[in-house]
Structure 1
Amino acid sequence: MCPLRPLKIFREFEPEELAFVSRFKKGELSVEKGATVLVEGSHSAHLYTVLSGWGFRYKLMPDGRRQILNYLMPGDLIGLQGSLMGEMQHSVEALSSMLLCVFEREQLHELYRNYPGLGYDITWIASHEERILDENLLSVGRRTALERAAYLLALLCSRAGSVGLERNDAVTIPVTQQHIADTLGLSLVHTNKTIRKLMDRKLVRWREGGCEILDPDGLQSLARWQGLSETLRPLV
Structure 2
Amino acid sequence: MNDIPCHQCPLRPLPLFIAHSPDELVLVQSLKRRELRLAAGETLIHEGHADAPLYTLLDGWAFRYKTLRDGRRQILTFLLAGDFIGVQQRMGDAAAHGVDVLTDARFCVFQRDALWELHRQQPSMGFNITWLTAHEESLVDDTLLSVGRRSAEERIAMLLILLFKRAAALQADGGASGVPFPLTQQHVADGLGLSLVHTNKTLRKLERRGLHRIEDGRLHLRDAKALVRLADLYGDGRPPQRPLI
TM-score range, shorter chain: over 0.9
Deviation at residue 180 of structure 1 after TM alignment: 0.6
Does residue 86 (structure 1) correspond to residue 88 (structure 2)? The answer is no
Structure 1: stretches of 5+ with no match in the other structure: none
RMSD of aligned C-alpha atoms? 1.7
CA gap 1:168/1:135 in 2 versus in 1, 3 angstroms = closer
Contact 1:173-1:212 at 8 Å conserved across structures: no
Equivalence for 1:120: 127
Letter in 1 for 2:182: P
1-side partners of 2:217 and 2:17: how far apart?
28
Equivalence for 1:36: 43
2-side partners of 1:84 and 1:235: how far apart?
21
Contact 1:175-1:211 at 8 Å conserved across structures: no
CA gap 1:161/1:206 in 2 versus in 1, 3 angstroms = closer
Does residue 137 (structure 1) correspond to residue 144 (structure 2)? The answer is yes
Q: State which of 161, 173, 189 in structure 2 corresponds to 1:181.
A: 189
Contact 2:165-2:239 at 8 Å conserved across structures: no
1-side partners of 2:240 and 2:213: how far apart?
29
Equivalence for 1:14: 21
2-side partners of 1:142 and 1:227: how far apart?
20
Equivalence for 1:227: 236
Does residue 25 (structure 1) correspond to residue 57 (structure 2)? The answer is no
Q: State which of 158, 166, 177 in structure 2 corresponds to 1:169.
A: 177
* 1:137-160 deviation digits (Å, cap 9, x = unpaired): 111111111011000111111111
Contact 1:45-1:104 at 8 Å conserved across structures: no
Partner of 1:180, secondary structure, is helix
Equivalence for 2:5: none
Q: How does 1:63-82 map to 2 (within 5 A)?
A: 63-82=70-89
What's the TM-score, normalizing by structure 1? 0.94
Partner of 2:178, secondary structure, is coil
Q: How many residues align?
A: 236
Partner of 1:40, secondary structure, is coil
Letter in 2 for 1:227: D
What's the TM-score, normalizing by structure 2? 0.91
Structure 2: stretches of 5+ with no match in the other structure: 1-7
What percent identity do the matched residue pairs reach?
47
